[in-house]
Structure 1
Amino acid sequence: MNQPNSLITLSQFDAALFDLDGVLTATAKIHAACWKRMFDDFLKQQAAKTQEPFEPFDIINDYNLYVDGKMRYVGVQSFLASRGMQLPYGDPADSPGYDTVCALGNFKDVYFDEVLHSQGIEVYEGSIALVHRLRHQRVKIAVVSSSHHCKAVLEAAGIEDCFDAIVDGNLSDQLHLAGKPAPDAFLLAAQQLGVEPSRAAVLEDAISGVQAGRAGQFGLVVGVDRAQNADALLQNGADRVVHDLSELL
């Protein structure tokens, strides 16, 4: 795609901060399917209670607008709010269920665990090739993900040793970091790598992720268009959009 800064290369920066799902690994579609399974079960239950029509979770629009890139419980709250619904927040230790935000999020987590262990993980070869190229050029590399499964996914994909820093959902919880679209996790990754945000590039497929990159004033924000939403990525903060990261090699 031809954006004005299309000649900018990642080797001009000291660090590259990669999102995980949808950027390095083809897990975004797994997450989307798990969210749909959980929310559709919940919405069917609610429709039966209220005698109103069942309106299913839209795996494209609802996922991209309300869930993608956000921390799990924030995603639950965001989607429920879009339907005019509220639930008690509950506690992260809640058993999977339909009565609290945390219980719903934990149900989705159970579904993802099932898929992770039964199907394995597919990587985007162009992304991994770019990671290796940048490492060869001595650019520091980090993964920044809201997923609590980040390290398990990296291990399953066999790429856990490729990164100098990992900021995932578990670490964000421990440090009480605000989730995307806040830039906190990306800023922490830059700090861990010892680089200024202006000297780091962010690579994201989620609207909330490019918003976070822009909010953190990073030197370059690259949107990865996996869901035919290039315009939305540009409008929300991406400097450049590519269909595959091999385009940056």
Structure 2
Amino acid sequence: MPNTSPKPPRATPQSRGEEARLRILEAAIEEFAARGYRGASTRQLAESAGVNLGALTYYFGGKPNLYTAALEHVIARIDDVTRPMAERVLAALADDRAAPSQDLRPLLLAFLDQWLDIMLGRSNLQWRPSWSLLLTRAEVEPPEADLWPYRTTYALVLDPCAALVARIIARPEVDDECRILSIALLGQASAFKRQLDGQLRALNWTDIDEDRRDQLRAVLHRNAIAALDNATGVTRAVPL
């Protein structure tokens, strides 16, 4: 009896090209994260991606462009996760213009929770240790002709966070203090990104389970509320 089951679609040259390009990007992220831009070996990178050395030039035009593409690939993944919350913040700020009595602090805390979950690998973004290394190295070795230190991953979350802070502390617009405060609040969560050294070992933790995540969240919330109150001159009773 003839086999009538549908045959799997053949890979087209375009799909094979996209697959090869993605393999190169993934290999580049690992290689640049491990060795930095200057120390990265294009030969090792090509071998890890399963392509010949000429494919790096064919798809990316060489090492400098590949470095930038690897960084942009990571940024795009983060952007996909953070964009819905950023849009929610912008919508709330627009509504608050018409109804300024709205308390926006819970939204800011939810925004910080999302960033904490991204750092802990608890969002639908599967954060990889190599991403942290790559972004850290990019601060020291920015892409050519690109002011990378001023366009880090924070740029994807800093603007809505700073806008929320400005509205909460009754500033007419985002100023340096709002941005500094926002960077400080986001930085508290970033300190606990997935890693097996640094802060985790200082806490004698090998991982962060749900209870520890809630513990971190509670501390970050208290710090955020205290910082906002301090910026607005509000004094709250401290429980004994």
Give me the TM-score of the superposition, normalised by structure 2: 0.28
Larger radius of gyration: 2
More helix by share: 2
Bigger relative contact order (CA 8 A; separation at least 6)? 1
